[in-house]
């Protein structure tokens, strides 16, 4: 039930959550939220908890009896929210994957506590998602529906949907019994030992992915569903190193003994392919390494030309990409999935870098013929983000000699110097009084920092004014000001974030009976073109970008943008929804349609920071949402930007 999900959410967060946060998270009205919380407090009287409303803070779960609460939490484990379309679809597919028998519409309706008409409506999306895994929904009059397809495709789908734990998965009794008896820790220990013995490298997330695959393998074979030789014939065994086969054999021996079945060679090969596609090795064959090296260099060169970056000069980036591409290409070749639980956070925090990863994925498709999933793009994004952080640190390190001017006492000046030394660890910092600044040889310094305004008309070196007692906001502003990467096309005329908003691209939507997100953003993108801010292909590029991965972020914020940066003039269209619509189970309260030029990628980073601020500060977001015109909106955004020093 949805109320159980709300309880779990409050329990996991462990802090006060505002009404707006809860409404946005569960896509419900204020009235529905009040009713759900009221019912939870009735349950809490016997289950050891109470949900308190704190003035100015929101709702907080107060645990009265820890033992009773933990008991109740175990009872509701796997709770579902039937009112969310995404949750319903996932659970219908999960129920179908757990059996080979036909399932009736009434069974789905009873299990999900929804109407038959809702099930029929959801089946359209069920069929669409099943096709992604090359599975088909077969229907038979008076019997119901079931999934049909190759066993390898069943495994891929089962592993993927099993990883969607946040939706509260429905599990049949047969699967629950199997899962309870499955020796997770024993298999995990054996897998770790074998990985270490064979000198392989496996990340935590990759290990968990392989464990899920082994779990699905085990469940399917207990139901006598095996991968037949003709189903794994596409796997080129010569690409699977003996070490991976040895690990797979040992795991399959344990499973054979545990479930009293003889696993065919095809199962061992398929498991070995999974381990191969999710492990890294140090000894890539020289010919293959050289081939990867040359192709990746060409990719990085194209990215540098498009985004004005310096990827080609970063040997560390190239080396890590080679080591990442080795297992990645095997995953793609073997048609394997590696889920990324950090995807939402990666996209929210690094939307600028994600755009680079999108372009990189297009190059992979062109060179190797494989389409990257959004999860894989998330991992690629982290490599490029690491490069950018290294470049920013290099920029800070280039400031070797700094002049600090102050107008207060020696004690506060010393404290100010100490804090600056944490930012500029390799720099020499000289301290002078404001009255002594006139006689200082500024040409000998790389940077001037002052706690009071400098009265010089022209300063030929960078100058930053800070508070007499350096705040965290000051430190962040120093880092952002001095580490703009990639650099703007014309640094001295670099646009500010606030200048990207235009009154003619500001809209307030009162209500919409139906809401097709892709059609809506394409409609708004056409307005951008009509106003002369973007090239004619911009609307199609926005929709093409949306096809890759949803741009609806957390907490009601959406940030659609084009697959390529094709702006004539940088702009951000804004739409505020007074009655927020829901699309694909996500609420859209405010939409920022981004349109930037290639050399202004750094503005994407600033936007990411703005979005994160709105997500993490619901009170600030609510003020923006209450804007009735462009002037109100501009005022609220300027306050936020001033607050964190942008």
3-state SS string for 404-452: EEECCCHHHHHHHHHHHHHHCCCCEEEEEEHHHHHHCCHHHCCEEEECC
pLDDT of 481 reads 80
Per-residue tokens: 421 = 């030394």
Q: 452 φ, ψ to 5°?
A: -135, 160
Q: Which residue has the tokens 């959550």?
A: 17
pLDDT tens profile 534-574: 999 999 999 999 988 888 887 789 999 998 888 999 999 99
CA–CA separation, 460 and 463 (whole Å): 9
Helix (H) / strand (E) element for 24: namely: helix 19-26
85 token code pair: 């379309």
**C-alpha of 205 from chain center:** 14
Helix (H) / strand (E) element for 568: namely strand 566-577
How many distinct helices (H) and strands (E) make up the chain?
Answer: 25, 14
What whole-number distance in Å separates Cα of residue 229 and Cα of residue 223?
A: 18
pLDDT score recorded for residue 337: 79
Q: How do residues 494-527 score in pLDDT, each as one tens digit? A: 678 889 999 999 999 986 667 889 999 999 999 9
Alpha-carbon span 33 to 496, nearest angstrom:
39
Max CA separation in the chain (angstroms): 94
| Residue 42 buriedness (CB in 10 A; 0-12 / 13-18 / 19+) | exposed
Give the pLDDT confidence score for residue 233 in this predicted structure: 53
Which residues are bridge partners to 144 per DSSP?
A: 140
Q: What are phi and psi of 534, to 5 degrees?
A: -145, 165
Low-confidence residues in the chain, pLDDT < 70: 1-2, 24-29, 77-84, 165-168, 230-235, 281-283, 456-458, 486-494, 511-513, 585, 599, 643-646
Helix (H, G, I), strand (E, B), or coil: what is residue 646?
coil
Pairing of strands 463-465, 447-450: parallel
What single-letter DSSP state applies at residue 163?
T
Asked if omega into 393 is within 30° of 0 (cis), the reply is no
Q: Domains plus CATH for the chain?
A: 2-75 (1.10.10.10), 85-178 (1.10.10.10), 182-278 (1.10.1790), 286-395 (1.10.1790.10), 398-482 (3.40.50.2300), 491-643 (3.40.930.10)
DSSP string, 165-176: GGG-----HHHH
**Which pLDDT value is given to residue 189?**
93
CA gap 376, 343 in Å, rounded: 9
Q: Which helix (H) or strand (E) holds 583?
A: strand 582-583
Phi, psi of 402 (to 5 degrees): -125, 140
Q: Are 381 and 348 in contact (CB under 8 A)?
A: no
Q: Name which of 224, 182, 208 is nearest 274 in CA terms.
A: 208
**What is the C-alpha to C-alpha distance for residues 531 and 3, in angstroms, rounded to an integer?**
46
3-class SS at 243?
helix
SS3 509: strand
Residues 6+ apart with CB under 8 A from 455: none
Residue 643: predicted pLDDT: 67
The confidence score (pLDDT) of residue 494 equals 60
Q: Is the dihedral of CA 71, 31, 167, 347 positive or negative?
A: negative
Region of 214 please: left (phi>0), alpha (psi -120 to 50) or beta: alpha
With tokens 């349950």, the residue in question is 43
Q: Which two tokens stand for residue 2?
A: 């949805």
Task: Find out whether 496 and 607 touch, Cβ atoms under 8 Å.
Answer: no
pLDDT of the residue at 15 = 84
Structure tokens at 437: 């600044």
Structure tokens at 354: 């994600």
Instruction: Report which of 117, 225, 564 is spatially closest to residue 363, judged by C-alpha positions.
Output: 564
What residues have CB less than 8 Å from 181, skipping those under 6 apart? Answer: none
DSSP string covering 139-162: EETTTEEEEES-HHHHHHHHHHHH
């Amino acid at each position: 039930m949805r109320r159980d999900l709300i309880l779990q959410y409050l329990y996991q967060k462990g802090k006060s959550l505002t009404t707006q946060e809860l409404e946005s998270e569960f896509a419900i009205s204020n009235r529905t939220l009040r009713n759900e919380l009221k019912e939870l407090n009735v349950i809490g009287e016997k289950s050891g908890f109470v949900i308190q409303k704190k003035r100015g803070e929101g709702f907080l779960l107060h645990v009265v009896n820890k033992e009773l609460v933990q008991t109740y939490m175990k009872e509701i484990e796997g709770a579902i929210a039937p009112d969310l379309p995404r949750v319903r679809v996932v659970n219908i597919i999960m129920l179908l994957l757990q059996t080979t028998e036909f399932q009736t519409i009434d069974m789905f309706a009873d299990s999900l506590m929804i109407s038959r008409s809702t099930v029929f409506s959801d089946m359209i999306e069920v069929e669409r998602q099943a096709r992604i895994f090359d599975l088909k929904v077969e229907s038979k009059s008076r019997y119901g529906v079931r999934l049909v397809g190759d066993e390898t495709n069943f495994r891929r789908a089962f592993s993927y949907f099993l990883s969607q734990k946040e939706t509260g998965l429905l599990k049949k009794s047969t699967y629950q019994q199997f899962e309870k008896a499955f020796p997770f820790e024993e298999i995990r220990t054996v897998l770790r030992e074998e990985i270490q013995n064979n000198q392989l490298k496996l990340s935590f997330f990759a290990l968990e992915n392989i464990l899920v695959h082994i779990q699905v393998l085990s469940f399917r074979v207990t139901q006598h569903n095996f991968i037949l030789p003709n189903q794994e014939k596409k796997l080129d065994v010569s690409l699977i190193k003996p070490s991976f086969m040895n690990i797979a054999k040992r795991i399959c021996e344990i499973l054979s003994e545990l479930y009293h079945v003889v696993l065919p060679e095809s199962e061992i090969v398929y498991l070995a392919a999974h381990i191969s596609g999710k492990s890294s090795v140090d000894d890539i064959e020289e010919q293959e390494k050289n081939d990867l090296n040359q192709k990746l260099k060409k990719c990085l060169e194209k990215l540098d030309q498009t985004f004005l970056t310096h990827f080609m000069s970063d040997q560390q980036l190239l080396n890590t990409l080679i080591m990442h591409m080795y297992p990645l290409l095997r995953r793609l070749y073997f048609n394997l999935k590696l889920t990324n639980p950090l995807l939402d956070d990666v996209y929210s925090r690094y939307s600028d870098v994600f755009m680079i990863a999108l372009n990189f994925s297009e190059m992979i498709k062109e060179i190797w013929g494989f389409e990257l999933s959004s999860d894989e793009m998330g991992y690629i994004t982290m490599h490029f983000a690491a490069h950018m952080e290294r470049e920013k640190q290099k920029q800070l390190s280039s400031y070797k000699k700094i002049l600090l001017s102050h107008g207060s006492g020696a004690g506060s000046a010393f404290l100010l110097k100490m804090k600056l030394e944490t930012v500029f660890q390799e720099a020499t910092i000289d301290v002078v009084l404001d009255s002594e600044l006139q006689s200082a040889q500024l040409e000998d310094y790389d940077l001037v920092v002052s706690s009071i305004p400098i009265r010089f008309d022209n300063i030929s070196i960078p100058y930053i004014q800070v508070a007499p007692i350096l705040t965290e906001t000051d430190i962040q502003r120093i880092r952002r000001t001095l580490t703009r990467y990639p650099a703007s096309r014309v640094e001295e005329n670099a646009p500010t974030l606030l200048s990207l908003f235009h009154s003619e691209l500001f809209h307030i939507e009162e209500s919409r009976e139906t809401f097709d997100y892709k059609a809506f953003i394409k409609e708004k993108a056409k307005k951008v073109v009509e106003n002369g801010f973007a090239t004619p292909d911009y609307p199609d590029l926005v929709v093409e970008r949306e096809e890759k991965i949803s741009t609806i972020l957390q907490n009601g914020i959406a940030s659609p943008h084009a697959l390529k940066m094709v702006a004539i003039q940088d702009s951000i269209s804004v739409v505020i929804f007074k009655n927020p619509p829901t699309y694909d189970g996500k609420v859209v309260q405010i939409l920022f349609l981004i349109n930037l030029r290639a050399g202004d990628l750094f503005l994407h980073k600033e936007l990411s920071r703005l979005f994160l601020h709105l997500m993490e500060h619901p009170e600030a977001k609510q003020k923006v949402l209450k804007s009735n015109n462009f002037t109100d909106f501009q005022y609220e955004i300027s306050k936020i930007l001033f607050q964190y020093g942008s």
